[in-house]
Amino acid sequence: MLSMQRASWEHGVALQAMVELGNDDQAYLMAREAVLRQTPEGRLSVLYTDNGVTDPAASGEGVLRAYEISGDIDLKQAADRMLDYLLARAPRSELGVIYHTLDSPEIWSDSLYMAPPFMAAAGAHAEAVAQIDGIRQVLWNPESRLFSHRWHDGEKRFIDRRFWGGGNGWAAACLGRVVAALPAEMAAEKERLANYHRELLDGCIAHMRGDGLFHDFVDEPGAFVETNLSQMLAYSVFRGIRGGWLDDSYLEPADRMRAAAHARVDRHGFVTGVCGAPFFDRPGRSTEGQAFYLLMEAAHRDLAR
């Protein structure tokens, strides 16, 4: 994973993997890099022409963790700047949904993972829930129980109505983190998000192949077979069962997904057959594919404790 070049969201998910594995030394070093590349308006981990509004927030929880480890106040200040950007200055829809891109008023399923988990970790619990509710209102398909990928808010149309596996995986991973991060006094919101999680899992599992993998577009058998959605869903299932909002009936399919991912690791340690960088339109390798293998393993380890 660390051998790969990384855009803002890729650095963020790799940093989160270090956090959840408990590798504090590596998390600290990676958080330092995220802050080094923070833009004046507050976006973390930005390389040159990064167009992401929410993608940079994927590093936010890791930066907060590095502050907890070290006490270095500049790390806390950097996380505060990232949060303030999301809450006060990031471009939004009329519904209050933060756009995914700077140059176009678009709402993507990817944003579910990028911003709400950091908001919840930083204490902006109500806004984390509001972003999940808002994105779901725009992208959720209740008949299929899956998320469409991209919406153009200016033109009020789908750019991509299809049910991309990666986007649904980002959503599941988001819910697995945010439900756990909400305080006890938000019991109603926790249960609502847990129901979202169960619905999404059911929608995805309905299309799981016999080998524990999925097609890149979940309900399209002609799309290539892809690895990362299995990892992302398994990660969220293990977190949900440990957190007590998922019952054990989800463990068997999650174990099959995990075994399928294990079978796709090559002798170099690359997770093969994921929706691949840099264009995510064919099977290959990606930082997020490597990171979610590690996140899945960390969640499985914690479930077994």
Query: pLDDT tens for residues 224-240?
Result: 999 999 999 999 999 99
How confident is residue 91, by pLDDT bands cut at 50, 70 and 90?
A: very high
In a domain, 227, yes or no: yes
Please tell me the predicted confidence (pLDDT) of residue 39: 98
Q: Mean pLDDT over residues 255-271, rounded? A: 98
| pLDDT band at residue 177 under the 50/70/90 scheme | very high
**Residues 107-125: b if buried by 16+ CB within 10 A, e if exposed:** bbbbbbbbbbbbbbbbebb
User: Which pLDDT belongs to residue 72?
Assistant: 98
Distance of CA 25 to the CA centre of its chain: 23
Determine the Cα–Cα distance for residues 139 and 33; give it in Å rounded to an integer.
Answer: 33
Going by C-alpha positions, the residue among 189, 192, 199, 193 that lies closest to residue 168 is: 199
Identify whether 115 is part of a domain.
yes
Q: Give me the pLDDT at residue 208, please.
A: 98
Which residues, in sequence order, are CB contacts of 210 under 8 Å at separation 6+?
A: none
In this predicted structure, what is the pLDDT of residue 46? 98
Within-domain flag for 1 = no
Residue 54 lies in a domain: yes
Residue 2 falls inside a structural domain: no
pLDDT band at 27 (very low <50, low <70, confident <90, very high): very high
Asked whether the beta carbons of 138 and 97 are under 8 A apart, the reply is yes
CATH assignment at residue 260: 1.50.10.10
pLDDT number for residue 140: 98
Does residue 3 form part of some domain?
no
| Dist. CA 85–CA 34, nearest whole Å | 15
CA separation for the pair 63, 75 (Å, rounded): 6
C-beta separation of 57 from 46 below 8 A: no
ω into 40 cis (within 30 of 0) = no
Residues 275, 230: Cα–Cα separation, whole Å: 12
- Classify residue 200 by burial, with Cβ atoms within 10 Å: 0-12, 13-18, 19+: buried
Token pair of 305, please?
A: 């404790």
What is the domain count for the chain?
Answer: 1
Q: How many CB atoms lie within 10 A of CB 69?
A: 15
**Are the C-beta atoms of 28 and 63 separated by less than 8 Å?**
no
Look over the chain and give the mean of its residue pLDDT values, rounded to a whole number: 98
pLDDT value of residue 114: 98
**Euclidean distance between CA atoms 152 and 154, whole angstroms:** 6
Confidence tier at 25 by pLDDT (50, 70, 90): very high
Q: Which domain holds residue 37?
A: 8-304
The reply to whether 120 falls in a domain is yes
Q: Binning pLDDT at 50, 70 and 90, where does residue 95 land?
A: very high
Of 28, 29, 26, 87, whose CA–CA distance to 57 is shortest? 87
Distances (CA, A) of 26 to 30, 217, 255: 6, 34, 28
Read off the pLDDT band of 97 (50, 70, 90). Answer: very high
pTM higher than 0.95 = yes
Q: Give the Å distances, CA to CA, from 214 to 197, 210, 234, 255.
A: 18, 9, 12, 14
What pLDDT score does 176 carry?
97
**pLDDT tens per residue across span 183-203:** 999 999 999 999 999 999 999
Nearest by Cα to 167 from 203, 191, 143: 203
Rounded mean pLDDT, 238-252:
97
Separation between Cα atoms, residue 202 and residue 204, nearest integer Å: 5
With beta carbons less than 8 A apart as the criterion, state whether 178 and 123 touch. Answer: no
> Rounded to whole angstroms, how far apart are CA atoms 243 and 180?
7
Question: How much of the chain exceeds pLDDT 70, in percent?
Answer: 100
Residue 250 lies in a domain: yes
Q: Which whole number is the average pLDDT over 235-248?
A: 98
Rounded average pLDDT over 129-154: 98
